[in-house]
Amino acid sequence: MRNFVAKVHFSTEERDHIDAQAKALQLSRSELIRLRALGDPSVGSRAELPPLTLCQYQRAVTAALKAAQGACSRITVEAITAAVLCSIHEIPDQPRNPSHPESVG
């Protein structure tokens, strides 16, 4: 079996970030990079899929336009829809409010 060598260049900040992730997983930097390159789910990055597909976003805008019944321009409805969707997907990152039933858990 022949080994393949791949060279990857990182900035100092990127290297430090990878080092911190590797340390948290108790791995060396090279082990972490190798496992990620091979798609090992146990060392998956924090990168996430987008919360919505473009089609889902378009359906949300269309539904909002229908609900607005012509009271707002499409540009305004798109901005409102985007703001609402962003706020929904930022909720887990916000401090939890114990007085609000949906924020507990």
Q: What is the pLDDT of residues 36-55, one digit of tens each?
A: 888 888 887 655 566 778 88
Q: What is residue 104's predicted lDDT score, i.e. its pLDDT?
A: 44
Average pLDDT, the chain: 80
Residue 13, CA distances (Å) to 1, 9, 18, 20 in order:
35, 12, 9, 11
Please say whether the beta carbons of 81 and 64 come within 8 A: yes
Encoding tokens for residue 17?
Answer: 């970030």
> With bands split at pLDDT 50, 70 and 90, how would you rate the model's confidence at 97?
very low
- Collapsing DSSP to helix, strand or coil, 22 comes out as helix
Other Cβ atoms within 10 Å of 24 Cβ, number: 9
Tell me: the pLDDT tens digits for 57-96? 889 999 999 999 999 999 999 999 888 888 887 655 444 4
User: What 8-state DSSP symbol labels residue 61?
Assistant: H
- Collapsing DSSP to helix, strand or coil, 50 comes out as coil
Please provide the size of the chain in residues: 105
pLDDT of 32 > 60? The answer is yes
Whether the predicted model's global pTM rises above the 0.85 cut: no
